Amino acid sequence: MLKYYRGGFIEKNTCDKLLTLAENLIDDFVDISENNHEALREAIRLNHSTYDMLFLTLSRSREAKLLTLDERLKKLAEQENIKYFTL
């Protein structure tokens, strides 16, 4: 959302609304330590940020859909056969 705000695509108050919407989609909070190592390995393998790989690997391990607005991450999800959706 920050990227879209900085790029002038959405307004500040829209960020808050989108964040609330995204928070309401969460079913379960997972301790980051559960998939740190896998995320790092995938970041190296796919040449992508470890931060994004935390979400990608968690989606894969939980068989959950990945929520992202990031085009590069969407492509990686498709490449890795991980379902995703955008707002």
- 52 and 10 co-located in one domain: no
Residue written as token pair 């590069």 = 72
Rounded Cα gap, residues 24 and 45, in angstroms: 32
- 20 and 7 co-located in one domain: yes
pLDDT value at residue 25: 82
Render pLDDT for 47-72 as a digit per residue (tens, 0 to 9).
999 999 999 999 999 999 998 989 99
3-class secondary structure, 86: coil
Q: Would the pLDDT of 26 be above 90?
A: no
Tell me the β-bridge partners of 84. Answer: 66
Q: Would the pLDDT of 14 be above 90?
A: yes
- 38 and 10 co-located in one domain: no
What values do phi and psi take at 69, rounded to 5? -105, -5
| Count of structural domains within the chain | 2
The whole domain housing 63 covers 31-87
Q: Structure tokens of 2?
A: 């920050």
